[in-house]
Structure 1
Amino acid sequence: MIIRILGEGQYDVADDALDRLNELDGALETAVEQGDETAFSSALHELLEGVRSVGVAHPADSLDESDLILPPGDASIDEVRAMLSDDGLIPG
């Protein structure tokens, strides 16, 4: 799966890493629903770090489409709220 972090680039992430990323996504979704800015900031940072740690940088010159798009690390809670679907940012 190819995950893009806006403003940063794409990462190739193995399917077996998605369960952990879904846990981090759930924490982010909860923080957004509760309007908790402190928890939101921490959860967004952890999710993006999770993608960076389990993913491998996708070639920058590749024209491959991203399977998932995540907000940048400096996104606001309102920007992330607009990106959320029923399954959060990472379906599953």
Structure 2
Amino acid sequence: MIVRIMGEGQVRLGDGHLAELNKLDDELLEELEGGDEAGFRRTLAALLDEVRRLGEPLPDDSLEPSELILPSPDASLEEVREMLSDDGLIPG
């Protein structure tokens, strides 16, 4: 799966990592719904760090269709709310 982190680039991420990323995504969703800014910042950073750690960066000149788009690390609560689906940021 190709994942884009807005403002950073793309990584190739194995589908086997989605379950562990979904745990962070669920936490992020709870913090968004509760308006927990500090928790939201912490969990968004942890989610993006995990994607970077588990994924293989694609070259900057590579432009492959992204199957998943994640917000930038400095995205606001409102910006992330607009990106959410019923499953959160990560399907599943």
- Asked if Structure 1 and Structure 2 have the same fold, meaning a TM-score greater than 0.5 normalized by the shorter chain, the answer is yes
Number of matched residues?
A: 92
Deviates more, 1:71-80 or 1:54-63: 54-63
1:31-50 aligned within 5 A: 31-50=31-50
TM norm structure 1: 0.97
Look up the equivalent residue of 2:51 and give its one-letter code: V
Q: 1:30, CA displacement in angstroms?
A: 0.7
Work out the CA distance in 2 between the residues paired with 1:62 and 1:39: 34
CA distance in 1, matches of 2:30, 2:18: 18
Distance 1:81 1:72 in 2: 13
Runs of 4+ in 1 over 3 A off after TM superposition: none
Uncovered stretches (5+) of structure 2, i.e. residues with no partner: none
Percentage identity across aligned positions? Answer: 55
Per-residue deviation, 1:63: 2.1
TM-score, with length taken from structure 2: 0.97
User: Which runs of 5 or more residues in structure 1 are unaligned?
Assistant: none
Aligned to 2:65: 65
Corresponding residue for residue 20 of structure 2: 20
CA RMSD of aligned residues (A): 0.6
